[in-house]
Amino acid sequence: MQRILDPAQIEAFADRSVPRIRLPDPASLFARRAQRLRTLAEGHPLGDYLRLMAAVADGQQVALDTLTAALAAEQFAQQLGRQIELAHEHRMPLLQSAGWPRQERWRAILNGLCGSLTRAAGFPAGVRSVCERIVASAPAEIETQADLLLAARTSGVDAPAAPFVMAALQVYWAAMASSLRISDVTPIDVPGVCPVCGTLPVASVVRSDKRSQGYRYLHCALCATEWHMVRITCSQCLSNEGIVYHSIEGGSAAVRAESCGQCHTYRKILYQEKDPEVEPVADDLATLALDLLMTEEGLHRGSGNPLLWQHTET
């Protein structure tokens, strides 16, 4: 009798040969996101916001190019010897975002992003106002906002400023993550968080490239590292029971929501075979209608989008 295996079983059998970690590519990370955001903005109800975030991503790429070169010159990765040993020994994230001793250069990145948006044409006056307020803020205030965002808090967060603060933090962590070697990073005991920085994923991607074809990777909302997780598995509670896939009629076939009947959460899952240009942060941001559908179903997001922060009603 022929036995038909589902995608999760196939991945489980092949698990040893699966590339477990995909570090971010600093040469194209934010440039690709910017292009995707502009493509998705065409005819979209949130087109203006998507174009604004595309401009942010343009600035992020410029900042990432500069910081990546600086970290290489400083031999940043080579100085992590003992931290790498501890991370491997205790199976914990190497560049843990909570408590990491941030250098003030990340705030310089933030000010640079805000400065470029202040000078840009075509955006609402409110964007300039928020950016000017960020640049004028005391360093301690900005650092407090960063701590809140990295801890995924909502209380006390300056929601209008949050996407810009998070954008600068993304550049800072992506530069550090991309300077690592795959061997520097070890799988950790909490498979639902990033093995590099300990941040929750924004979405997952089923890859179509030759090296990772058919395998699902969670995409870190902060450093953009991706790590393998077997398909038909809840990325929140790791259950493989009661997994359901949702989509909007007439919407993109490349983006679905994967919900869990055990913990009643969901995250979006993107399929490159349906659209090779999908990008986790951009496509998640452009499919808020799917989030509304999931909310109506009584389900909750496992984690938010780094470029969209809202006040939580209490």
- Provide the angle, in degrees to the nearest 10, between the axes of the packed helices 125-136 and 105-119: 150
Pairing of strands 201-206, 243-246: unpaired
228, β-bridge pairs: 217
Cα distances from 86 to residues 23, 80, 93, 262, 288, in angstroms, run: 20, 10, 10, 34, 40
Amino acid 310: pLDDT: 62
| CATH number of 24-184, picked from 3.90.1670.10, 3.60.40.10, 2.60.40.10, 3.90.170.10 | 3.90.1670.10
Counted residue by residue, the chain has a size of 314
Q: DSSP secondary-structure letter at 257? A: E
Per-residue pLDDT tens digits of the chain, which is 314 residues long: 444 445 555 445 445 578 899 999 999 999 999 999 999 999 999 999 999 999 999 999 999 999 999 999 999 999 999 999 999 999 999 999 999 999 999 999 999 999 999 999 889 999 999 999 999 999 999 999 999 999 998 899 999 999 999 999 999 999 999 999 999 999 898 989 999 999 999 999 999 988 888 999 999 999 999 999 999 999 999 999 999 999 998 888 999 999 999 999 999 999 999 999 999 999 999 999 999 999 999 999 999 999 997 644 43
Indicate the helix (H) or strand (E) that contains 293.
helix 288-296
pLDDT at 130: 97
Task: Return the SS3 of 111.
Answer: helix
Alpha-carbon distance 287 to 187, whole Å? 30
Q: Which amino acid is at 120?
A: A
pTM of the shown model: 0.92
- Cross-strand partners of 244: 259
Strand extents, DSSP E, the chain? 21-22, 201-206, 216-220, 226-228, 243-246, 255-260, 265-271, 300-301
Return d(Cα 301, Cα 135) in angstroms, integer.
32
Q: What is the pLDDT of residue 121?
A: 86
